[in-house]
Chain A
């Protein structure tokens, strides 16, 4: 299989084939932990790390593993990567590790990771596989963080609260209170809010896509410059 260009991989991961809002994979953590920015960022970083590691490892062993046993092997690799990530978070961001709780080990079952391992990494060389893992993780993470930001803003009236969980004590002052005396809009933080705002993000993406398509069609329909109709009647005086 020919290796796609890096620019194409980038476009795929971030927009055209975005794991979160196009493939709709990994919805469980997407809906569960995006109540605020710091949780979303923590999970996005962990998922990206796992994706990059598992894609690389799967790509390395792609020629020695037979098709029949490939899935269990992939899952073993992913589980190992997740365990390493978990230990890393325990070491460097213990509070966040406790908040994310079950959703860290559950990265193993995130369909994005097995999907990329099977659909891409097992068929391509190491470098594109690693890049694909990184960019897919980034695409997933961007959606996660945007969703977290919207839900945190609407749900609490503030942004970037508790960033010290991820960036050390100096980040405690990053919290932006957007509206004083805000009445918390609990729906945004509760699971139904996650569904609603994910739906709105997908709708927004579709809107932008259709807008782009319409503009491209309009460009195509424009007559070529210089082409003229032949005049067949009358004379120009």
Chain B
């Protein structure tokens, strides 16, 4: 929803919400392509099914709230939420799992709070976390990347989604899981002994992350968001992993490069942390917000119980966003530090 305020200097050319959302959708394409290349059609089916269900839920909620269907559907915000959720879910997830996640994201996290612009939490991440704590078995089953096992073809992928009982899926621990459960192997030995590791991080994962980085940089170039939050997040994650790298010892948390190119780091940094609604608003606030997420991601990844941490870190930071905004409010020109004229 664009807030049309007509006042001087009547500058034209700013983006409407719908245009912003469509460019975000476009920017996910390289990442989705890489996910499809390495893990098969699972992600594509996740995204397509999530969008279908998401539009249905959004229409239902808008109808119940007596809002204009075409106006609110055209801003594409529901589509963005569903695409992001579909990307975050493990490929070959059953249809009901995706539907429950989309319902939590669209109905609970977004529409119950009053629709786009009023949601204190990132809807896609709420959907993801609801699924992660409700169905841990299905949510931690990641397919092995191409090269380590046969990737299901399109027909098998459709079967996995819509007839899950007949699908005989193969799953494998992700590099982050392996590192989390490493007991006493030096980093070098772990790298040499485990087939899942590639050049810098996990096979497939490094390219997926680089693709999301490319999409994110394009959005940055298009000025869809500012650099502050993503850069702060990546910087603090790098700093944390450099501090606790411990020279590649057996208690190491993994190298900075590994953490930057693993799991949902780049996807989170450029597509989740930059959510304009649920993040901090001021420039300094965004720096704090992003840095907080980076630190939390590292803490949860290395010492927490869950394999990846971006969703939890983002939700915790969403809680903190109003608090961060309160302390980083920019000073109005001509006013003193205490808010009075000075």
Contacts and interface: CB of A to CB of B under 8 A. Distances in A.
Contacts of A188: 134
Contacts of B1: none
A185 B104 CA distance: 12
Nearest to A186: B134
Interface residues of B, number: 9
18 contacts: A183-B96, A183-B135, A183-B138, A184-B134, A185-B100, A185-B134, A185-B135, A186-B133, A186-B134, A186-B135, A186-B136, A187-B130, A187-B133, A187-B134, A188-B134, A190-B133, A192-B133, A196-B108
Interface string A63-91: 00000000000000000000000000000
Nearest to A185: B134
Interface of A: 183-188, 190, 192, 196
Given A183-B138, A184-B134, A192-B133, 15 more contacts: A183-B96, A183-B135, A185-B100, A185-B134, A185-B135, A186-B133, A186-B134, A186-B135, A186-B136, A187-B130, A187-B133, A187-B134, A188-B134, A190-B133, A196-B108
B305 to A, nearest CB: 14
B317 to A, nearest CB: 18
A133 B96 CA distance: 45
Nearest to B97: A183
A190 to B, nearest CB: 7
Contacts of B134: 184-188
Contacts of B138: 183
Nearest to B130: A187
Interface in B54-111: 96, 100, 108
B308 to A, nearest CB: 19
A79 B240 CA distance: 52
Interface in B120-143: 130, 133-136, 138
Contacts of A183: 96, 135, 138
A196 B134 CA distance: 14
Contacts of A196: 108
Contacts of A187: 130, 133-134
Q: Rank and list the top 3 A-B pairs by shortest CB-CB distance, nearest first.
A: A187-B134, A186-B134, A185-B134
Interface string B108-120: 1000000000000
A186 B108 CA distance: 17
B160 to A, nearest CB: 15
A184 B100 CA distance: 12
Contacts of B108: 196
A196 B138 CA distance: 23
Contacts of B130: 187
A183, A188, A196 — most chain B CB neighbours (10 Å)? A183
Nearest to B108: A196
Nearest to B94: A183
B128 to A, nearest CB: 12
B279 to A, nearest CB: 22
Nearest to A203: B112
A216 to B, nearest CB: 22
B79 to A, nearest CB: 25
A184 B97 CA distance: 11
A186 B133 CA distance: 7
A190 B138 CA distance: 18
B319 to A, nearest CB: 14
Nearest to A199: B112
A186 B134 CA distance: 4
Contacts of B96: 183
A187 B103 CA distance: 14
Nearest to B131: A187
A171 B130 CA distance: 34
A192 B121 CA distance: 15
Interface string B126-165: 0000100111101000000000000000000000000000
A9 to B, nearest CB: 34
Nearest to A187: B134
A185 B134 CA distance: 5
A138 B304 CA distance: 43
A184 B136 CA distance: 10
A46 to B, nearest CB: 30
A101 B77 CA distance: 47
B145 to A, nearest CB: 26
Nearest to A196: B108
Contacts of B135: 183, 185-186
B101 to A, nearest CB: 11
A185 B132 CA distance: 10
A103 to B, nearest CB: 23
Nearest to B135: A183
Nearest to A193: B134
A214 to B, nearest CB: 15
Contacts of B100: 185
Contacts of A184: 134
B181 to A, nearest CB: 23
B108, B134, B138 — most chain A CB neighbours (10 Å)? B134
Nearest to A188: B134
B133 to A, nearest CB: 6
A187 B104 CA distance: 11
A60 B14 CA distance: 74
A184 B135 CA distance: 7
A166 B239 CA distance: 57
